[in-house]
Structure 1
């Protein structure tokens, strides 16, 4: 009888992943994302000052 072999075995520790070097395409993609995010934030800031978009509410009459 060997009592030490039962149960789950612990997985081996995996080495830390090295920082992936970014090539030109990755850098360009990251830069484009940053620019798009800045544009989005500017548009969002402009939209906040304008108020609600749909102000044309149809009022119902009191008659049924």
Structure 2
């Protein structure tokens, strides 16, 4: 028996069928556009916040005990 015959290890016969490419409808296109706009807004906000230092640098907080 040739190697791989009947054992299910032959890669030629184990290929999965390709996924069919779905056509986008208007809702999908609008959703993707909204996600892209949200991501762009988040990136811009992170860039603005990244240039500043720490907020309210209070240092180590001490307890009220004496």
What's the TM-score bracket when you normalise by the shorter of the two chains? 0.5 to 0.7
TM-score after normalising by structure 1: 0.66
Gapped regions of structure 1 (runs ≥ 5): none
Gapped regions of structure 2 (runs ≥ 5): none
Relative contact order, higher structure (CA 8 A, sep 6+): 2
**Cα RMSD (Å):** 2.8
Secondary structure (helix, strand or coil) at the match of 1:50 reads coil
TM-score after normalising by structure 2: 0.64
Q: Deviations over 1:17-51 (max 9, x none)?
A: 12111111100000000000000000000001111
Runs of 4+ in 1 over 4 A off after TM superposition: none
* Structural mapping, 1:1-64, within 5 Å: 9=8, 12-58=14-60, 60=62
